[in-house]
Every structure is written in C-alpha cells, then in structure tokens.
Chains A and B, each alone.
Chain A
Amino acid sequence: MENINIAAVLARWIHFMAGVMWIGLLYYFNFVQVAALKNAAADGTAGGITKHVAPRALLFFRWAAVVTWLAGAALLGPLFVDAFLLRNGMGGIGIGAWLGTIMLFNVWVLIWPNQKKILGMVTASDGEKNKARRVAFLASRTNTMLSIPMLFFMAGGWSHRALFGL
C-alpha cells in the first residue's frame, strides 16, 4: 500500500464538512433569513425566528468557522507560511486562505458581538441595536461576497495551480 498521509486526509475531510456547515449557514442567513425576517416582522411572526432559529444557527455558524480554519491550517501544514506569504507556488491557495481568514475575523469580531445585541443576549439600547443591525448585516453580506472568490481559490488554487501560471 502506498504511503498515505492519514492526518492530511482527515484534515481535508473535516475542512470540507465544517466548511459546508459554515458557508451553508452563511448562505441561509443571506439568501433566506434576512428576507424571511423582513416579511415575518411585517406580520408579527419574527419572534419564532429570532428566539429559536437564529441563536442555534449562529452557534453552529461561528464554531464551524473556527473548525474550518483550524482544519485548513492543519491541511496546509508546513506550507502554511508559504501560503500566507503567497510564495513558492502557494499563491492561489494562499489567496483562498487569506479570504477565509478575513471571513473568520468578520464572524467573530463583527457579526457575533453585534448579533448578541440584536437578539437580546446582551443589553443594548435601541440606538445601539440599530447600529449593530447595520454592522452585522454588512459584515454578513461582505462574507457572502468574499465566499465567491474564496471558494474559487480553494477549489483550484492548489490542485489546478497551472491556471494561475504557478
């Protein structure tokens, strides 16, 4: 049997599973929940979403982001630094890694702290809630935008690096 790097196989598997959960929930928020909440608020049924659905979705969303990043870092292994410095043929996957890292930052620094205010998990005035709503919305939309090139560079940045002349 040929020499198989079990750790790399497991890291790739976990990276994919957690990544599907992370980006899947990101797309749920942006393609489904934002519009649904607007309609639900109009007929007074938003409480079910904000009380029961959103906190649970956010729980899996933010921790899936962490697991995805850690498994990706493990997968890069000794090539981690080359990827983030965009050198030695790792520029394509490195751009994907940078985009994923910016997205992880947005989740934990911009989306989650502001969602806690919006959902009433921490005390906030109405003015603070309105500001939090705008920041969380734009950070979430930014991540949706970044996910498109991120997935392109993740998908082809290493296995199809000839596409980038690398």
Chain B
Amino acid sequence: MKNPLDSLWGTVIAGFVLTAVLYVFARNFLG
C-alpha cells in the first residue's frame, strides 16, 4: 500500500480524516 504522505493530496485527505477521528474522540471521551 502506498504511503498517503507521499502525495500532497493524500496528506491533506489524511489530515481531514484525522480531524474527524479526533473530533469523535473529543466528543465522547473528554471531560
């Protein structure tokens, strides 16, 4: 599998996906 960071747009998409994951974490697991 290709590393998404080798592509600029793969990097940007990975950033948005990570934002969504961290948002779900913050919303559900933080006090």
Task: Report A's interface with B, CB cutoff 8 A.
Answer: 30-31, 34-35, 86-89, 91-92, 95, 138, 141-142, 144-149, 152-153, 164-166
Contact = CB atoms under 8 A, between A and B. Distances in A.
Q: Is the interface of B mostly helix, strand, loop or mixed?
A: helix
Interface of B: 3, 5-6, 8, 11-12, 14-16, 18-19, 22-23, 25-27, 30-31
Contacts, number: 59
Contact of A145 (B11, B23, B26): B11
Contacts of A87: 31
A20 to B, nearest CB: 18
A34 B15 CA distance: 19
A138 B10 CA distance: 12
B22 A146 contact: no
Contacts of B11: 30, 141, 144-145
B22 A149 contact: yes
A144 B26 contact: no
Contacts of A166: 26, 30-31
Contacts of B5: 138, 141-142, 145
B22 A91 contact: no
Given A30-B8, A138-B5, A141-B5, A148 B26 contact: no
Contacts of B30: 86, 91-92, 164-166
